[in-house]
Amino acid sequence: MTRFKHDLILRIVKIMDAVLVTIPFALCWYLYYAKRIASPFYAKGDYLVVALFFVLFIMFGRVYDAFLMSMYRISEIVYAQFLAAAVSDFIMYVVIWLLSKHLPNILPGVAALVGQLVLAAIWAQGAHRAYFKTFPPQATAVIYDTRQGLEKLIGQYGLDGKYKVVATATAAECIENLSMLDGINTVFISGVHSHDRNIILKYCVENNITMFVIPRIGDTIMSSAHHMHMFHLPMLRVGRYNPQPEYLFIKRLLDIVISAAALIILSPIFLATAIAIKATDHGPVFYKQTRLTKDGKEFGILKFRSMRVDAEKDGIARLSSGEHDDRITPVGKVIRACRVDELPQLINILRGELSIVGPRPERPEIAAQYCEEMPEFSLRLQAKAGLTGYAQVYGKYNTTPYDKLTMDLMYIAHPSIIEDLKIMFATVKILFVPESTEGVAEGATTAMGQENDDKMTV
């Protein structure tokens, strides 16, 4: 089957999903809300409302990866579909509220969401099974150098039904015999130096082989290059993070508006958490800790205290070892699981010390340890630190510092309000999912994960 036909079939299946999820909303609108708005619409107006939901669902479906039936487990697809439908329904509820000029009954909307969840689950299960019955696993090769074990990750993430690894080889072995890639559909490149990688890349492009590359720091920085011409030659201009002033203005405006609104709305949770912490061990409610933000500037980040007062009585900075850390209090375990301990950082955002989206701020002591083995770690400090970020949304609990650095630099390389909004909405997806500790490729378990021009360990 040609790639064009493959992509066309997938697109049709995804549109069918959007149509299915739109049906409960359309019924809810026509049977209840449409009759109760201040100035009832006629046919075209009704079509427009339903079409708006359809577009919103597709947009948020992409944010939450709700249509990737070949990449995720059925449960993950259903969860993503539910989030996309719930956010779309909420926005449409606000629209209906404005049209009605009074607070509408939410129960029909809840009923529509239940119907959407049922239809999404049916679609996810059917589409997932149909995909793997229709499309056989792609013959796959894993080419590595300093980073091994990617073929194991394919199995651990349940992708062996899509990618059937039939060959693994070092970059040197592959370059010596490029014909080993004949008959291969997909190639994964892991930790291969740029010179060797480019030889394999050209061969793959020439022979219509899809290639996935785990980027290195240099690749990520180069992705921000501005294309231009000079001396009648093509040029790539690369420099330090320097976003447009209008981007920084809108970003700061969003920080102020969203953090202020969140502080007001979440004030009951603040009060309940403060009472619970105080009642447990009578210690301070808040915990202030020195962190680094743009250009290495230090600031005091605020958190609800989740550990014992004497958690670092010896004065040595330590990363938490996770939910089994014996320094965490009973209340701390609850607020950490719900991410409530992070809420006081909204005050840091309002002050301008932190942004909603950006690289997560590190402690100076921990950052110094990282920089000893990974000097590029300081490149994260080009942008203001954030409450959430690319690495927090798309990484895992045990994603190595090197890989998280790469993710942060990918964000820094392409400053965009649209990307900020996507990360904000995508953050909702991880709030209700326990920290994952899926395995990482062999060679990925060093303390920091380091790279220089000659070597990469992840």
Considering the domain architecture, whether residues 185 and 199 belong to the same structural domain is answered as yes
Strands 456-457 and 450-451: antiparallel
Residues 379 and 395 reside in one and the same domain = yes
User: Do 261 and 310 reside in the same domain of the chain?
Assistant: yes
- Look at residue 169 and tell me if it is in a domain: yes
In a shared domain, residues 303 and 450: yes
- Are residues 341 and 395 located together in one domain of the fold? yes
Final residue in a domain of this structure, among 159, 192, 214 = 214
Q: Residue 232: inside a domain, yes or no?
A: no
Find out whether 68 and 11 touch, Cβ atoms under 8 Å. Answer: no
Cα(277)–Cα(298) distance, rounded to whole angstroms?
Answer: 27
Domain that holds residue 373: 245-457
Kindly state whether residue 230 falls inside one of the protein's structural domains.
no
Determine the 3-state secondary structure of 195 from DSSP: helix
What is the total count of domains within the chain? 3
Q: Are residues 309 and 193 in the same domain?
A: no
Opening angle at CA 116, ends 111 and 122, nearest 5: 135
E strand or H helix at 13: helix 3-31
Scanning 136-286, the segments in alpha helix (DSSP H) are: 150-156, 171-176, 194-206, 217-222, 245-265, 267-281
Residues 202 and 327 reside in one and the same domain: no
Task: Report if residue 200 sits inside a domain.
Answer: yes
- Predicted local confidence at residue 331, as pLDDT: 80
Domain boundary residue among 164, 196, 214?
214
Please indicate, yes or no, whether residues 25 and 78 belong to a single structural domain of this protein. Answer: yes
The verdict on residue 236 lying in a domain is no
Evaluate whether residue 331 is within a structural domain.
yes
Shared domain for 355 and 376, answered yes or no, is: yes
Whether the full predicted model's pTM is greater than 0.85, yes or no, is: no
Q: Residue 61 half-sphere exposure, CB side, CA atoms within 13 Å?
A: 23
Report CA Rg, the chain: 25
Backbone angles phi, psi at 279, to 5 degrees: -70, -25
Question: Residue 228 falls within a domain, yes or no?
Answer: no
Residues 363 and 405 in one domain: yes
State the Cα–Cα distance between residues 108 and 122, nearest whole angstrom: 21
In a domain, 383, yes or no: yes
Report the CATH number at residue 169. 3.40.50.2300
Residues 264, 405: one domain? yes
Q: What is the pLDDT along the chain (458 residues), one digit of tens a residue?
A: 567 777 788 888 899 999 999 999 999 999 999 888 867 777 788 889 999 999 999 999 998 988 888 888 888 899 999 999 999 999 999 999 988 888 889 999 999 999 999 999 999 998 888 888 888 888 999 998 877 778 888 887 778 888 888 888 898 999 989 989 998 999 999 888 888 889 999 999 999 889 998 888 888 888 888 888 888 888 888 888 888 899 999 999 999 999 999 999 999 998 988 888 888 877 788 888 899 999 889 999 998 888 776 655 555 555 554 555 667 788 878 878 778 888 899 999 999 999 999 998 989 888 888 888 888 888 888 999 999 998 888 887 667 888 888 889 999 988 899 999 999 988 888 776 655 444 444 433 333 333 333 333 33
Distances (CA, A) of 24 to 80, 111, 115, 126: 18, 8, 6, 19
Place of tokens 């809108």: 250
Tell me: do 323 and 180 sit in the same domain. Answer: no
CA–CA distances in Å: residue 124 to residues 21, 73, 79, 120: 11, 9, 10, 6
